[in-house]
Amino acid sequence: MAAKLISTGIRHTTLPENYVRPLSNRPCLSDVSPLKDFPIIDLSSTDRSRLVQQIHQACSRFGFFQVINHRVSKDTIDGMVSVANEFFSMSMEEKMKLYSDDPTKTTRLSTSFNVKKEEVNNWRDYLRLHCYPISKYVHEWPSNPPSFK
């Protein structure tokens, strides 16, 4: 299964076939218009029902949104990025301890949502960690890199 992961450290000179989507499944960029009203959600608002409505509208219409005024400090964000870089820089052997192609697992390293069913994989690896409530899931989290916990 390590062959499915991108973060193996192998430098690819060509795109592996299992990552190439057929032309019929690729987005047609000439059909895409510029986004004029990108959804931005301001979490400093005290009107909770309005926030919920804005998030619902953004998800329904666009499928995504940008969050501002979330009060997550730059140090916290930098720390998360640092730990993620440490994790994905670990040896393949260490990372494979967390690999799973079971989409129901709450903690797993994978490359696609359902590796067994997908014909074309996504060009990414991810570490899935459920976090809420943290007391229910933190014991599943990896112990490496040491700065993870």
pLDDT above 70 coverage of the chain, percent: 91
Going from N- to C-terminal start, the domains of the chain cover 91-148
Better pLDDT: 70 or 120: 70
pLDDT at 111 over 70: yes
Helix (H) / strand (E) element for 109: namely strand 107-110
**Which of 2-6, 80-84, 113-117, 135-139 bottoms out in mean pLDDT, i.e. has the lowest?**
2-6
Tell me, what's the pLDDT at 149?
A: 63
Quote the CA–CA distance of 87 and 81 in Å, as a whole number. 10
Q: What is the pTM of this model?
A: 0.71
Is the bond preceding 142 in cis, omega lying within 30 degrees of 0?
no
Tell me, what's the pLDDT at 66?
A: 95
Better pLDDT: 134 or 33: 134
Quote the CA–CA distance of 99 and 108 in Å, as a whole number. 6
Is the bond preceding 16 in cis, omega lying within 30 degrees of 0?
no
pLDDT digits 0-9 by tens, 16-55: 888 888 988 888 888 888 878 889 999 999 999 999 999 9
Q: Model confidence at 2, in pLDDT bands (50, 70, 90)?
A: low
pLDDT digits 0-9 by tens, 44-88: 999 999 999 999 999 999 999 999 999 999 999 999 999 999 998
